[in-house]
Amino acid sequence: MRVYNFSAGPSMLPLPVLEKVQAQFLSYDGTGMSVTEMSHRSKPYEAINAEAESLLRELMNIPAGYDVIFVQGGASTQFEAVPLNLVKNKKADYVVTGIFAEKAFKEAGKFTDAAIAASSKEQGFTEIPALKKDMFRADADYAHICYNNTIVGTRYRGAPDTGALPLVADMSSMILSEEVDVSKFGVIYAGAQKNVAPAGVTIVIVKKGLADDPSPACPTMMRWATQIKEHSLFNTPPAFSTYMAMEVFRWLKGMGGVKAIQKINEEKAGMLYDFIDNSAFYTNKVKKESRSIMNVPFVSPSEELDAKFVAEASKEGLLTLKGHRLVGGMRASIYNAMPVEGIKKLIGFMKKFEKENK
């Protein structure tokens, strides 16, 4: 039996994609072999690599003046790759809106003069701070944001104005869930394991020119220019994860693309937030304008009830609802592949639990 898995990542993948991949597991597209066994220099894999890129370009409307690469190491490796590829004046400005944004800031501090332009730490990360371009140093090499904060459940709405500074965004937990104007960004990166594919592949989208002059200390494998030149095939790529990304991109295109999935995502999140806001039992502490449509944290009246909620929900096929250990409570991660029925079932359970425990 399949369950509704509310994990923050790795997360649910679309069922039709899993079924297709299962059917093709032993022999991909008539090749007589699995993608897991295939040379990355073979024609079938080169076709997968190329289609994954072209579909991502189409889905995100990525302008021609941007390179797209598929790399390894997860988003965490990009916390280091970003300063190593971009720093020239030896200054970088960070907006700290959560645990991963802070990790990115700390990594950058190993390679450059990293400063915090704004932070919502004092507010317990329950909001995205209002940003103005004069908060950033004019001679910084870039400004870094985390677009959707997975643990605390906040998100930006559009790209903030960072003046002339290239804007770098960690989009790990929202890529392809809502429309984004890529032309406003210098660099976008995202790990796959939420909206895209199993863990393994990391997407990096870089405006042409920005990757041309990395720090001499930047290791070959972290140089975006290395992978750009080789179309992500410099060394053995995370082939199976990229193949599944291609299948997820095909699925998303078939669903009507990012605009269509955004509408569904807003409906799903809207249902859940409306229910929480109208309940005297459950609370979401995030400022309304900053609420994520991918990660919805909430608490019941006590920690004991939170633990009971998570345990009983799992018996009903509603899995991985425990909040991150740093914030406690519950968190429902409702990425693209979470069906509306999963949200309805969760709300039904929340009602029942409230009635039995208030």
Q: Is 236:71 a contact under the CB 8 Å cutoff? A: no
Q: How far is the CB of 144 from ligand PMP (least distance, A)?
A: 11
Q: How far is the CB of 149 from ligand PMP (least distance, A)?
A: 6
117 lines the binding site for ligand PMP (CB under 6 A) = no
Q: How far is the CB of 275 from ligand PMP (least distance, A)?
A: 24
Site for ligand PMP in 181-210 (CB under 6 A): 191
Place of tokens 């997860």: 74
Tokens of 358: 């208030």
| Choices 19-27, 167-175, 214-222, 234-242; region in contact with ligand PMP by CB under 6 A | 167-175
H-type helices in the chain, by residue range? 15-23, 43-60, 74-86, 99-108, 224-229, 239-254, 257-277, 303-315, 340-357
Q: What's the angle, vertex CA 340, arms to CA 245 and CA 320, rounded to 5?
A: 70
> How many chain residues bind ligand PMP (CB under 6 A)?
12
Tell me if residue 49 falls in helix, strand or coil: helix
Among residues 5, 85, 120, 150, which is the contact residue for ligand PMP, using CB under 6 A?
150
CA dihedral 83, 84, 90, 96 (to 10 degrees): 10
Q: How far is the CB of 51 from ligand PMP (least distance, A)?
A: 23
- For residues 90 and 141, what is the distance between their CA atoms, to the nearest angstrom? 7
Among residues 172, 195, 262, 284, which is the contact residue for ligand PMP, using CB under 6 A?
172
Q: How far is the CB of 171 from ligand PMP (least distance, A)?
A: 8
Among residues 4, 70, 94, 100, which is the contact residue for ligand PMP, using CB under 6 A?
100
Binding-site ranges for ligand PMP (CB under 6 A)? 8-9, 74-76, 100, 146, 150, 170, 172-173, 191
